[in-house]
Amino acid sequence: MTLLLILAILPVVTALICLILKSWKVQYALTLSSSLIHLAVSFGIFIGYFTPGTTFMFGFDALSKLFLLVLSNTYFWIVLVSYSYIKLPVESDSTSGKKYYFMLMNFYLVANTAAVLSNHFGMYWVAVEMTTLSVAPLVYYSRSEESLVAMWKYLFIVSVGIAFAFIGILFLALSAKGTILDGEQLYFAEYMKNAATLSPIWLKASFIFIFVGLSTKIGIAPMHSGDIDATSSAPSPIAALFSGTLRITALLGVLRMFQIIRPTGSFEFAKGLLIIGGLFSIFVAFIYMFRVTDYKKMVAYSSVEHLGIIALGIGTGGIAFIGALYHIVFNSMTKVGLFLCAGKIHLKYNSRNVSDIFSVLNRLPWTGWIFFISFFAVSGIPPFGFFFSEIRIFEGVFFSDRPYLLIIAMIFLLFIFINMGHTVFKMLYKRGKNEKVSIESEKFDIFHFASISILIVMVLIAVFNPAVLADNITSIANDFGILP
């Protein structure tokens, strides 16, 4: 109970104080302290130092512990750079955007924490709705017309998606008609326990609606458009939050449904749907990479690709499922560096158009090199995390009953790597018109520190694979009844 209070009430109190206080510095200090405490508690829970119980509609299992740590970790690094970010000169009318920045960030943390820790479908749905409402105004941070369009589009598409997810929950309640769950509360654990008694047709319908509805937030194609626009138009720290945490929180809902459907005859159907969604997402990223014009959008499409890989891994099962869980962890870390660097480039060149970007390595050496390294990280080059997680996923697909899917996925991924690399190298090395060859100096700042630190942490986790993480992921696989 105390832990839940710390995880949920602390950010609420911080948010309310941020609403009253005018000083950004104090707001930042409070938010950073709150995020640090949140991270410490999440880490304590993850390693087993704290053993929390179940309270009201919240509880802890291996899956929620992992997702909570992913959320806390990404959020901490984003908050760390936030003060420097809001001090940056952006578009003229952004003062009101800055005013509510930290308050909304805190509400975002509360909503996400509630979604991750909820053990009831109703509570999860409400929390997911809250995450949308807290993050949408952050997309409109710069108060530009483009960000307004992006925010509106995101809010509208996601609200329709959330309405779909609600229909899915109603179908789930309908699937329990005539069973001992009829008229009972929608606790995940109860539904998992009695999954075999649920009506298969309504369970399938429920999975379809929840998967399609939440795909608007996860960014699974073809429901990805609102998410792409919001991610590419949002401030770079918020875009990193979108990619590293928000999509994962939405994925959690699909995973819960997947867990319920596992012991039923509809399991193969759900697996097929996830594989189709995953492959289609990779395909959409593959197509986009042939005609990249906006580099922030390119990074956003990279998130669609990696969420697609995760969906493919979950759908395949076995070792691929374990790989997908590692991929979730590494995705949240990789995207922080990539988006923060993209934001720095945007600030320097005042354009998101690839054709306007040149000589980044000369003009922004720190940012350029980190962007370069992050590109390798996102492409699955060793020793970065994606290499290890993708190997597991590909192994799982290869030894599954659909090995041909690996060939399809590999072709898409190869072209994504080539085309994305082509764009990144053009940005880094291409000379501008009449540009003199000179290396400008760039101050090492908090953005570089955060990006490098998180990349180092990721490499250490990937290479040493700490026992506590491996045990947690094995425990999740056991909960799902999926073993390699």
Q: Which residues bind another protein (CB under 8 A)?
A: 122, 125-126, 129, 133, 136, 145-146, 148-149, 152-153, 155-156, 159-160, 162-163, 166-167, 169-171, 173-174, 177-178, 183, 185-186, 199, 201-202
Question: From the CB of 166, what's the least distance to another protein, in Å?
Answer: 6
Question: From the CB of 281, what's the least distance to another protein, in Å?
Answer: 22
Instruction: Give the integer Cα–Cα distance in Å for 218 and 365.
Output: 33
Cα torsion 153, 151, 360, 460 to 10°: value is: -100
Instruction: Give the integer Cα–Cα distance in Å for 27 and 144.
Output: 24
Give the residue with the Cβ less far from another protein, 125 or 295.
Answer: 125
The phi, psi pair for 118, rounded to 5°, reads -65, 140
Give the residue with the Cβ less far from another protein, 178 or 265.
Answer: 178
Residues in a beta bridge with 120: 187
Q: How would you label 233-272 residue by residue, b for 16+ Cβ within 10 Å and e otherwise?
A: bbbbbbbbbbbbbbbbbbbbbbbbbbbbbbebebbebbbe
Question: From the CB of 194, what's the least distance to another protein, in Å?
Answer: 16
Question: From the CB of 169, what's the least distance to another protein, in Å?
Answer: 7
Give the residue with the Cβ less far from another protein, 169 or 325.
Answer: 169
| Other beta carbons within 10 Å of 440 | 10
| Other beta carbons within 10 Å of 20 | 8
Give the residue with the Cβ less far from another protein, 15 or 409.
Answer: 15
Alpha-carbon distance values, 325 to 135, 318, 396, 397 (Å)? 25, 11, 13, 15
Question: From the CB of 177, what's the least distance to another protein, in Å?
Answer: 6
| Other beta carbons within 10 Å of 211 | 24
Question: From the CB of 181, what's the least distance to another protein, in Å?
Answer: 11
Give the residue with the Cβ less far from another protein, 123 or 473.
Answer: 123
Question: From the CB of 275, what's the least distance to another protein, in Å?
Answer: 26
Give the residue with the Cβ less far from another protein, 142 or 400.
Answer: 142
Give the residue with the Cβ less far from another protein, 2 or 96.
Answer: 96
Alpha-carbon distance values, 281 to 48, 174, 307, 402 (Å)? 36, 30, 8, 18
Cβ contacts of 145 within 8 Å, gap of 6 or more? none
Q: Which of 390, 363, 378, 389 has the alpha carbon at shortest distance from 423?
A: 378
Give the residue with the Cβ less far from another protein, 203 or 341.
Answer: 203
Q: Could you tell me the sign of the dihedral formed by the alpha carbons of 371, 136, 7, 36, in that order?
A: positive
